[in-house]
Amino acid sequence: MNPLMDKRIIVGVTGSIAAYKAGELVRELRKQGVAVKVVMTEAAQEFVRPLTFQVLSGNPVYTNLFRLEGQWEPEHISLAQWGELILIAPATANFISKLASGLADDLLSSLCLASQAPKLVSPAMNSGMWENEVLKLNCKRLRDFGFQFVGPGYGELASGEIGKGRFVEIREILGKLKEILYPKKDLLGKRILVTAGRTEEDLDPVRILTNRSSGRMGYSLAQVAEWRGGKVTLVSGPSNLSPPFGVKVQRVRTTEEMRKRALEAFKEADIVVMAAAVADFRSAEVPGEKLNRRRMSLNLESTPDILKEMGGKKNDKFLIGFALESGTNVERARKKLVEKNLDLIVLNDLTQEGAGFEVETNVVTLIWEDGRTEPLPKLPKLEVAERIWDRIVEALR
Ligand code: CTP
């Protein structure tokens, strides 16, 4: 489920050179299923014409506080009722300070004052302005009033200087919006460790032993946990996926590296999900030179079992493992649950239609420590993650 689907968002554009980037933002929002209405300040219209946003949002653009075209209700009131969230992007130093003082001398500031909806501010300005003490104080004031911020980023500014003040990447804004609009916050305050992806073991300086795991299931679990309010650390093996928003990502390559990082984060965690497809074997000795192609046998040894080690010092942590099987072998998965001292094991049968490494969906069965089993239907991996978290939250109650 995409937390942005069918949401009504008001995008307030203020007078920064980054205003042109808000066009792309509106386009992306609509692609995510959002209904968008754009409100522009007078200064913003110096940079981009309202027509641009009218076309991109598919709605009229609102610019004037005092124009009532054929309707009895002032626009700041009807818009305030319509919007489920107000996003100010880009937000100038001037507009932020205006909001912080409760001024309402144009449509956008009046709307912000009149609306009860959550508000997200994405600043864009010169780094000198961003570092200014008065502005810092005004940002703090807004935060204290419940406004949330995303950005600004660090990098090249319109002036050519490098510094903080850059309009943040659109991906970040979407990430923050999803976090705000996700309906459940039932993992608030929980510290969560998720591992994901594959690990790699060197055979020689060139070749590796690994598996085909993409990391999708683990990344989805980490993202949904973050949306639900968890403080999430993701220890990830090599993966092409972009990092989940708001999650602390630690990248590793080998099983030993994953073991080290995961055990470190384990100490602080309340809930641990070991979704990584850890390489089960590694070369008993790794030569410094490339192996000769005529060498036909490898001397392998088992890698350390990270989850079993965690099971040994579980205490009151909630421990979840995955059992990657080629066949719906509940008994084999249950054996792993007992051996590794888990609360729950997620049986992932790779032979099922709709399950597997490269696909966006998954078919899993939840097997509980108390003997219950629950098969889930074929679902997108993000929805599988949501169901798994639903059940974990229930179990924690
Ligand atoms: N696991 C681990 N360390 C390993 C191997 C596996 O922590 N060296 C974890 C996996 O992340 C998963 C669970 O143990 O959560 C089960 O992994 P799986 O590969 O299905 O089982 P194995 O215990 O490795 O047994 P086998 O490969 O023989 O099926």
- Assess whether 59 and 109 both reside in one domain: yes
- CATH code of the domain covering residue 115: 3.40.50.1950
> Are the beta carbons of 30 and 36 closer than 8 angstroms?
yes
- Asked, for residue 54, whether it belongs to a domain, the answer is yes
pLDDT at 69: 59
CA–centroid distance, 340 to ligand 1, in Å, is 9
CA–centroid distance, 305 to ligand 1, in Å, is 7
pLDDT per residue as tens, the chain (397 positions): 899 999 999 999 999 999 999 999 999 999 999 999 999 999 999 999 999 999 999 999 999 876 655 565 677 788 999 999 999 999 999 999 999 999 999 999 999 999 999 999 999 999 999 999 999 999 999 999 999 999 999 998 888 889 999 999 999 999 999 999 999 999 999 999 999 999 999 999 999 999 999 999 999 999 999 999 999 999 999 999 999 999 999 999 999 999 999 999 999 999 999 999 999 999 999 999 999 888 778 899 999 999 999 999 999 999 999 999 887 789 999 999 999 999 999 999 888 888 988 889 999 999 999 999 999 999 999 999 999 999 999 999 9
Torsion angle of alpha carbons 369, 371, 372, 377, nearest 10°?
A: 80
Atom of ligand 1 at shortest range from CA of 280: 8
pLDDT at 73: 66
- Asked, for residue 3, whether it belongs to a domain, the answer is no
pLDDT at 64: 82
Which residues are tagged catalytic? Answer: 211
- Assess whether 333 and 386 both reside in one domain: yes
pLDDT at 264: 98
- Assess whether 382 and 285 both reside in one domain: yes
CA–centroid distance, 282 to ligand 1, in Å, is 14
* Strand order through the sheet with 364-368: 248-251, 231-236, 191-196, 271-274, 318-325, 344-349, 364-368, 373-375
Pocket test of ligand 1: the residue of 213, 335, 336, 340 to mutate, having most ligand atoms within 8 Å of its CB, is: 336
pLDDT at 76: 72
Choose one of 159, 181, 203: the last residue of a domain: 181
- Assess whether 21 and 103 both reside in one domain: yes
Q: In 75-98, which positions are buried (b, 16+ CB within 10 angstroms) versus exposed (e)?
A: bbeebbeebbbbbbbbbbbbbbbb
- Assess whether 65 and 98 both reside in one domain: yes
pLDDT at 294: 86
- Asked, for residue 186, whether it belongs to a domain, the answer is no
pLDDT at 99: 97
> Are the beta carbons of 367 and 330 closer than 8 angstroms?
yes
- Assess whether 165 and 202 both reside in one domain: no
Structural domains in the chain (count): 2
Strand partners, 281: 302
Query: Distance between alpha carbon 169 and the CA centroid of its chain, in Å?
Result: 14
Choose one of 181, 214, 238: the last residue of a domain: 181
Question: What pTM was estimated for this model as a whole?
Answer: 0.94
CA–centroid distance, 200 to ligand 1, in Å, is 14
Give the domain range for residue 137: 8-181
- Assess whether 223 and 170 both reside in one domain: no
- Asked, for residue 215, whether it belongs to a domain, the answer is yes
Atom of ligand 1 at shortest range from CA of 255: 8
306 lines ligand 1 (CB under 6 A): yes
324 lines ligand 1 (CB under 6 A): yes
CA–centroid distance, 323 to ligand 1, in Å, is 7
323 lines ligand 1 (CB under 6 A): yes
121 lines ligand 1 (CB under 6 A): no
- Asked, for residue 1, whether it belongs to a domain, the answer is no
Pocket test of ligand 1: the residue of 194, 266, 274, 278 to mutate, having most ligand atoms within 8 Å of its CB, is: 278
305 lines ligand 1 (CB under 6 A): yes
321 lines ligand 1 (CB under 6 A): yes
- Smallest CA separation from ligand 1 atom 12, residue: 322
- CATH code of the domain covering residue 267: 3.40.50.10300
- Assess whether 111 and 253 both reside in one domain: no
92 lines ligand 1 (CB under 6 A): no
Structure tokens, 317: 């942590």
322 lines ligand 1 (CB under 6 A): yes
Which of 349, 345, 389, 396 has the alpha carbon at shortest distance from 371?
345
CA–centroid distance, 350 to ligand 1, in Å, is 15
- Assess whether 327 and 212 both reside in one domain: yes
Structure tokens, 233: 């650390």
- Smallest CA separation from ligand 1 atom 3, residue: 305
CA–centroid distance, 276 to ligand 1, in Å, is 8
Query: Which three-class secondary structure string do you get for the chain?
Result: CCCCCCCEEEEEECCCCCHHHHHHHHHHHHHCCCEEEEEECCCHHHHCCHHHHHHHHCCCCECCCCCCCCCCCCHHHHHHHHCCEEEEEEECHHHHHHHHCCCCCCHHHHHHHHCCCCEEEEECCCHHHHHCHHHHHHHHHHHHCCCEECCCEEEECCCCCEEEEECCCHHHHHHHHHHHHCCCCCCCCCEEEEEECECCEECCCCCEECCCCCCHHHHHHHHHHHHCCCEEEEEECCCCCCCCCCCEEEECCCHHHHHHHHHHHHHHCCEEEECCECCCEEECCCCCCCCCCCCCCCCEEECCCHHHHHHHCCCCCEEEEEEEECCCCHHHHHHHHHHCCCCEEEEEECCCCCCCCCCCEECEEEEECCCCEEECCCEEHHHHHHHHHHHHHHHHC
